Amino acid sequence: MKRINFRKIELLAMMVLLISACSGGPKPVATTEAEEVLAEDIVELRDDQIKLAKVELGAMEMKTLGNSLKVNGVVAVAPQNLATVCMPLGGFIKSTNLMPGSAVSKGQTLAVVENQDFVDIQQNYLEARNKLVYAEAEYKRHTALFKDDVYSEKNVEQVTVDYKNLKAQVKSLEQKLAMIGINPQKLSEDNIRNTINLVSPIKGYVKNININIGKYVSPTDVLFEIVNSDHLLLELTLFEKDADKAVAGQKIGFFINNENEEHEAIISQTGRSVDDNKTYRVYATVTSTCKNIIPGMYVNAYISQSDSLVPALPTGAIVSFDNKDYIFVYEREKEEDGKPFTEYRMIEVKKGASGEGYTEVILPEGFDIRSAKIVINGAYNLLSAKKNAGEMAC
């Protein structure tokens, strides 16, 4: 019996040595001190093991999550922020100094246009205006004489018609002058000109230029396209089955060019008709600022079905084991045999709604969201270390 007990003790000692070698080298067997027993919910790693597991710490975030509806669309501008510039009377392009992408302000000269017709309009206006001064005086004089029975009614009627015709002609020519950018009130016989400055009707940047010096342009030609990108819209395409999932006021998160930066928008208007392909349009106003967003870009967006903020973590920070969900939280630093170790506590949680890489976390009572340092990367490696104690150190 004594021999058998000795062999059992010998086998036990060999097992202790093997476990010690797997965990980083031999450790002296303490006969007088009690070995530390880790709690069931604790995982400890050395610095080199932490690097190998790619463990990263982060904080709990508050996110708006729900049954998000994923949609596609493009960046657009409202009609009042997009201007097509033409020359009402046509002419020859005398000069321009703009390039596509140039920033312009409202009223800035885009090009100088030359046309002899501009001279004729100014001449006709000045002649009509001078005649109107004489006709108005005649009208007043004949009206006064008619009251004194000096002139006949027929003569007064003729003078009145001439006066009103000239007045209409002057008003018409004033409108033509205003159309080509000439102020009738400042026009005189001394400042008649044959060139007109074509100006920008809005602030923005030049999207397209369709002119060059010396080119003749007609009134129907589009010379410039100006876009104001200060107030952008999203034009999103939804299927008719999702018509009840988008209403004015809902928040939208969207991404451009496969970027990781999320931008925000709010639905401002929904469509009132369905296209032939069974889709309809939803328009949202961009509320965040991003210099990379320009009209025409494609976007990937999601429409939140809930406005409430909930605690959330990157989906990879939540691991599952035995049909339960867990997160790992930094516990403390310690030393064993002169070597530093870090402890992480495994905490059971429940998962809620998910969207755009994040998952709602329902935390246990008393959990301190503000101070907790949570493992947001490497959680699966910690779970593996927990399930296979000592395996990562081999």
pLDDT tens for residues 35-57?
566 778 888 888 888 888 889 99
- Do 193 and 91 belong together in one domain? yes
How far apart are alpha carbons 373 and 367 in whole angstroms? 11
**Domain stops at, among 170, 200, 226:** 226
> How many domains does the chain contain in total?
4
- Do 97 and 221 belong together in one domain? yes
Higher pLDDT, 67 or 94: 94
- Do 285 and 358 belong together in one domain? no
CATH of the domain at 133: 2.40.50.100
User: How far apart, in Å, are the Cα atoms of 218 and each of 119, 149, 274, 342?
Assistant: 17, 55, 38, 77
Question: Are the C-beta atoms of 45 and 341 separated by less than 8 Å?
Answer: yes
- Do 105 and 214 belong together in one domain? yes
- Do 350 and 236 belong together in one domain? no
Sequence-distant (≥ 6) Cβ neighbours of residue 192 within 8 angstroms: 119, 122, 123, 126
C-alpha dihedral, 114 to 119 to 120 to 123, nearest 10°: 160
Can you give the residue range of the structural domain that contains 8?
1-30
pLDDT band at 10 (very low <50, low <70, confident <90, very high): very low
Question: Are the C-beta atoms of 104 and 206 separated by less than 8 Å?
Answer: yes
Question: Are the C-beta atoms of 226 and 208 separated by less than 8 Å?
Answer: no
- Do 53 and 144 belong together in one domain? no
First to last CA, the chain: 37
- Do 47 and 183 belong together in one domain? no
Least confident of 96-105, 216-225, 380-389: 380-389
How far apart are alpha carbons 325 and 317 in whole angstroms? 10
- Do 352 and 240 belong together in one domain? no
CATH of the domain at 41: 2.40.420.20
How far apart are alpha carbons 224 and 228 in whole angstroms? 13
User: How far apart, in Å, are the Cα atoms of 1 and each of 6, 10, 11?
Assistant: 9, 14, 16
What does the mean pLDDT of the chain come to?
83
**Domain stops at, among 305, 328, 356:** 305
Question: Are the C-beta atoms of 344 and 43 separated by less than 8 Å?
Answer: yes
Helices (H), the chain: 2-22, 47-53, 116-147, 153-179, 379-387
Higher pLDDT, 362 or 272: 362
DSSP letter for each residue of 185-229: GG--TT---SEEEEE-SSSEEEEEE---TT-EE-TT---EEEE-T
- Do 158 and 220 belong together in one domain? yes
Q: What is the pLDDT of residue 306?
A: 62
Q: What is the pLDDT of residue 389?
A: 61
- Do 25 and 44 belong together in one domain? no
Higher pLDDT, 108 or 31: 108
CATH of the domain at 284: 2.40.30.170
The pLDDT tens digits for 259-300 are 778 888 999 888 888 888 888 899 999 987 777 788 888 998
Burial grade of 198 (CB within 10 A; 0-12, 13-18, 19 or more): buried
Q: What percentage of the chain has pLDDT greater than the value 70?
A: 86
- Do 193 and 249 belong together in one domain? no
How far apart are alpha carbons 224 and 207 in whole angstroms? 7
- Do 55 and 13 belong together in one domain? no
**Domain stops at, among 195, 211, 226:** 226
How far apart are alpha carbons 265 and 251 in whole angstroms? 6
